[in-house]
Structure 1
Amino acid sequence: MEGIFLLLGSNLGDRAKVLQLAIKALEYKGIKLVKKSAVYETAAWGITDQQAFLNQVIQVDTSLAPMDLLKVILEIELELGRVRKIKWGERLIDIDILYYHDIIYKEDDLEIPHQGIPKRRFTLVPLVEICPEFIHPKMQLSQKKLLDNCEDNLEVSLFTKY
């Protein structure tokens, strides 16, 4: 199945605006927006004593190879003010590559599909919204089935439809 899916997240500043700016920055760099989920709010995952996150999944189209896409994403995160301090810490913007079509890819800095997908409701809920039947290339399960099987019990609340 075709599709490149990215997860956007923010828990600092004007979180909703930051997500919009990230989408605009991706488009400016030639990455075409195909579809986007609603924006969802969820408690912080990993390190829980921080502000709630807003998350959104977008489907994009690009001719960039996975590592080149990652380079563009890291540039955008820096341009928008991301500072990497600690894993799962507060962040102005976080952009993760979830899927790159049905490719299975592993390098030191990038693993596709993203290893956290089956464990995180805040990722699966927006994925199910825009691509419920997309098959996880390693697990051979749809996003809907992954959500049904997910043991994460953090509440994922609709923040804004679009």
Structure 2
Amino acid sequence: MNKIYILLGTNLGDRFQQLNLARKQLETHVGAIIEASSIYETAAWGVEDQPAFLNQVVLVTSELQPLACLNLTQHIEQELGRIRFKKWGERVIDIDLLYFNQEIIDLPSLQIPHPYIAERRFTLEPLVEIAPGYIHPVYKKNNVYLLDKCTDDLPVKKISDDEPYRH
């Protein structure tokens, strides 16, 4: 069984509902969510002149191989109304594959580990919550270390941990 860490993000519409719908679609089409971080409100990264995001990291177990997983997560994004206007722009939902087991994949359509993990506090904060000791397969450092060394100073605020999504 593959273990896949996935980042969910949204900054348009009913953001909590978008995260909920994305989790349900992941469980229907990709695999069981066995752990999920709290939900964090985060400033937009890359293109900063846009609404704040809600972000969450989930750990999914799946029989899918990496490219099949990517295809399904992109299909889920489209089903939930994602339209790709511009890189790092606002979006109804974003589903990023962060880690896939301990694999290193470098294809034009898929890079695992996600190439920006170490540069994004909005990814590392929820990732550290559920996988502090996970070792990045390229940097050979755990997520706590990556967060400690992260130079991204955009605000990341935990807003929901009263009802964490757990099985």
TM-score, normalisation: structure 1? 0.97
Question: Percent identity of the aligned residues?
Answer: 50
- Is 2:8–2:57's contact at 8 Å kept on the other side of the alignment? yes
Deviation readout 1:18-62 (Å, 9 max, x if unpaired): 001000011111411010000000110011110000000000000
- Is 2:5–2:98's contact at 8 Å kept on the other side of the alignment? yes
- Is 2:3–2:59's contact at 8 Å kept on the other side of the alignment? yes
**Equivalent position of 1:31 in the other structure:** 31
User: Given the alignment of the two structures, is residue 158 of structure 1 paired with residue 158 of structure 2, yes or no?
Assistant: yes
- The aligned runs of 1:91-106 (5 Å cut-off) are 91-106=91-106
Structure 1 residue runs without a partner (length 5+): none
Instruction: Write out the 4+ residue segments of structure 1 that deviate beyond 4 Å after TM superposition.
Output: none
The Cα of 1:97 is off from its aligned counterpart by: 0.2
The Cα of 1:155 is off from its aligned counterpart by: 1.1
The amino acid that maps onto 2:66 is: P
Q: Distance in 2 between the 1:65 and 1:124 partners?
A: 24
The amino acid that maps onto 1:136 is: H
Structure 2 residue runs without a partner (length 5+): none
Aligned-pair Cα RMSD in Å: 0.9
TM-score, normalisation: structure 2? 0.94
Deviation readout 1:99-119 (Å, 9 max, x if unpaired): 001000011111000000000
